[in-house]
Amino acid sequence: MSKYVPKLSELKQEFEKKKPALLKEDYSGKEWWDLPVEFRDGNWCFPGKTEVLEDLGFPNPRKWAATDADWQLPDGWEKTIRDGLKSRLKRFRSFKLFLDTCVRCGACADKCHFFLGTGDPKNMPVLRAELIRSVYRNDFPLAEKILKGFSGSRKLTAEVIKEWHLYFNQCTECRRCSVFCPMGIDTAEITMMARELLNLIGVNNNWILAPVSNCNRTGNHLGIEPHTFVQNIESLVEDIEDLTGIKVNPTFNRKGAEILFITPSGDVFGDPGVYTMMGYLLLFHHIGLDYTISTYASEGGNFGMFTSNEMMKKLNAKMYHEAKRLGVKWILGGECGHMWRVVHQYMDTMNGPADFLEEPVSPITGTRFSNAAATKMVHIAEFTADLIHHKKLKLDPKRNDHLLTTFHDSCNVARGMGMFEEPRYVLRSVCNSFHEMAENTIREQTFCCGSGSGLNAEEFMDIRMRGGFPRASAVRQVQETHKVNTLVTICAIDRASLPTLMKYWNPGVSVYGLHELVGNALVMKGEKKRTEDLRESPMTGLGEGEE
Amino acid sequence: MTIEWGRAVQENKKNILDAWMSRSLLLFSGKMAAASPVAEALHQALGMVLDNCEKNSELLTDGLVQLSRILAVQDMPPSQAMSLFFELKKIIPELSLKGSQKQSLKQLDMDALQSRLEELTLQAFDSYMMQREKICQLKLDESKRMLFMQLRRAEA
């Protein structure tokens, strides 16, 4: 027998070790916090690299892993957390309110995709929030301190920190639970605070901090230097010319342009985002828009939101600094998720008012976007919907006949901005086959992709597949009933993570950005005969010799 | 000709499926509610496997793929995931006693059942490993997609 074959005793030992914790011991009659916290391959993200933390000036840079027994927390970490919690309770009244008002009704419990996908009770939003609330109760309100035991309070220990790290990184801040909360508690904000606190003692996630560091240094998540950023877009310009015969002419860092266009950098370097970028470029050429792209504010996404308020503010500020420097009138934003949550919900009081910009007015239709009066930033979906509404686009939806579509509402745009109809209006105008998923999985009740808020790490794949299961199930339903083969979305994280989710749960469904379909359908003046879409896939019935 | 244990399965399918489902949920360490979407998908997959367990077919393969797709991303080692097939060895004779046959399966049937369950377990294990391989491939694909433009330039 091979020497590599494990001995029976070793197998038994491994089996015992990996056996689900609840089966090892009887936990009846014990408190919820007695359930053990177990880190296994696939359920934790790699921590921030030392050099990344040093770049950012973040505390406690070191080599460690969640599976280590000793996390090398800094001396006095308990005080750091307590002081951090106190300071945040004072600074953010919403946080205090959310900790104080929960009545444990449980309405949120089965609304979380991570709870539905994992079945883990600590993934119920009510219990996830309780992880931090229990410490807050022990340390703060006097009456509850006296009533300790009745109030569900507990001491802050290293085990609690491990538990926070595990479960606050199984929340994508999607806010589906908050839709159902009768008290209006936004669990995402509790998660944001918990992650801020963890960052204070160096408990973190490299998939979040590396993009933050890159963005802080070069302006985008992947750390693409300005010349490469331009080269990438020029390369897409060549592709567009090959496919359509049209040469589009984006400009970079041009002072005096009317509009600054900012999109997630995934649209400039990643597949399938680049096809969405090609769609934008075709659209802007089609309407003769006076716009420019910045190589400094080369990222719409803002992973600062998953790190700290200060970092979110700093990364958001670069977009507005650049708009000021270039002297544009307003900003047009691409298809992104959390960029829009930051802009729509936090920007005005965080970096605003952006009174050096003008209230956005479409130069093509004259529509005044008074909803963007404060932020001076318009979402591309509403901009395009307005163009279509005013019949400013020549569209041939037949060109998308090879795509049988459904639409995934991106959490931050749907729940964070209330934008439901504009993307659907655009989608219906550019394709002939569109089927909605089940009512309780779309619009404000949309299910998250399972990888938002910086959890798109490959080492976290098992949990991502489980967290994304409710979304995948809804897609599967329309795949089976309507032969849907295309999942359209308006978020860069979705475009990065949903292809993986679909390939795992629903093979045969591909993921597209909305403006990729716009780009396919646009009939450009002087174009050559179009037989292939922007991915160079044949368009149904439009091949050579077909009419 | 339908073998005896196969007939016992078909005649008591609902009871066997329910029992198998309850025991399969234990794999999730008591955390997965029976009415959850995952449990629903698991029920459907177990049903497909049970319907087609007597002989190999495309439907059986589909059922095993659906089942292993769910199991391959859970917090449990492969050995534990596969153990659910051994549960059938206990469930089928136990529930057959309560069914229309009113008698236990003969030793010969038990041997045939045992042999078939071993085959099914091995097929399920292949399917499970295919899903794990797929997870690895998806990780690789995702990295490549993220570096799409860089790789394209490097290749050119």
**Are A356 and A493 within one domain?**
yes
Give the structural domain span for A487. Answer: 211-521
**Are A197 and A306 within one domain?**
no
**Are A73 and A134 within one domain?**
yes
User: Count of domains in chain A?
Assistant: 2
The minimum CA-CA distance between B92 and chain A, rounded to whole Å, is: 25
Residues of B in contact with A462 (CB under 8 A): 73-75, 135
Cis peptide bond prior to A272, omega within 30° of 0:
yes
| Cβ–Cβ below 8 Å for B135 and A462 | yes
The minimum CA-CA distance between B30 and chain A, rounded to whole Å, is: 7
**Where do the DSSP E strands lie in A324-376?**
330-333
**Are A358 and A475 within one domain?**
yes
| Cβ–Cβ below 8 Å for A500 and B142 | yes
The minimum CA-CA distance between B100 and chain A, rounded to whole Å, is: 35
Choose among A309, A301, A365: nearest CA to A336: A301
Q: Is residue A356 part of a domain?
A: yes
pLDDT at A24: 44
**Are A426 and A378 within one domain?**
yes
Q: Is residue A154 part of a domain?
A: yes
ipTM of the complex: 0.92
Residues of B in contact with A270 (CB under 8 A): 145-149
Give the structural domain span for B55. Answer: 4-155
Q: Is residue A109 part of a domain?
A: yes
| Cβ–Cβ below 8 Å for A116 and B77 | no
Order of strands, sheet of A259-262, starting from the edge strand that comes earlier in the sequence: A291-293, A259-262, A330-333, A377-379
| Cβ–Cβ below 8 Å for B79 and A15 | yes
| Least confident window among A481-495, B16-30, B47-61, B83-97 | B83-97
Residues of B in contact with A40 (CB under 8 A): 75
Residues of B in contact with A231 (CB under 8 A): 153
Q: Is A14 on the interface with B (CB under 8 A)?
A: yes
| Cβ–Cβ below 8 Å for B148 and A505 | no
CB nearest to B31's CB, from A121, A235, A503: A121
Whether the CB-CB separation of A320 and A348 falls below 8 Å is answered with no
**Are A417 and A462 within one domain?**
yes
Q: How far apart are CA A210 and CA A49, in angstroms?
A: 8
Mutant choice from A118, A222, A480 vs B, greatest count of B C-beta within 10 A: A118
CB nearest to A500's CB, from B80, B138, B148: B138
Q: Please report, for residues A132, A194, B2, the alpha-carbon distance to residue A129 in angstroms, rounded to integers and kept in the order given.
A: 6, 9, 55
Q: What is the pLDDT of residues B3-35, one digit of tens each?
A: 578 888 888 889 999 999 988 988 886 678 888
**Are A441 and A382 within one domain?**
yes
Residue of chain A with shortest Cα separation from B75: A20
Q: Does B105 score more than 70 pLDDT?
A: no
In chain A (547 residues long), the average pLDDT of successive 10-residue segments reads: 68 61 53 82 94 96 96 97 96 94 92 93 93 85 60 86 96 96 95 97 97 95 94 97 97 98 95 97 98 96 95 96 97 95 92 94 98 96 98 97 97 94 98 97 97 95 96 97 98 96 98 98 96 94 56
**Are A242 and A306 within one domain?**
yes
- Which residues 20-49 on chain A approach chain B with CB closer than 8 angstroms? 20-23, 38, 40, 42-43
pLDDT at A190: 96
Whether the CB-CB separation of A357 and A376 falls below 8 Å is answered with yes
**Are A196 and A242 within one domain?**
no
User: Count of domains in chain B?
Assistant: 1
Whether the CB-CB separation of B105 and B8 falls below 8 Å is answered with yes
Q: Is residue A13 part of a domain?
A: no
**Are A267 and A192 within one domain?**
no
Q: Is residue A539 part of a domain?
A: no
The minimum CA-CA distance between B99 and chain A, rounded to whole Å, is: 32
| Cβ–Cβ below 8 Å for A18 and B80 | yes
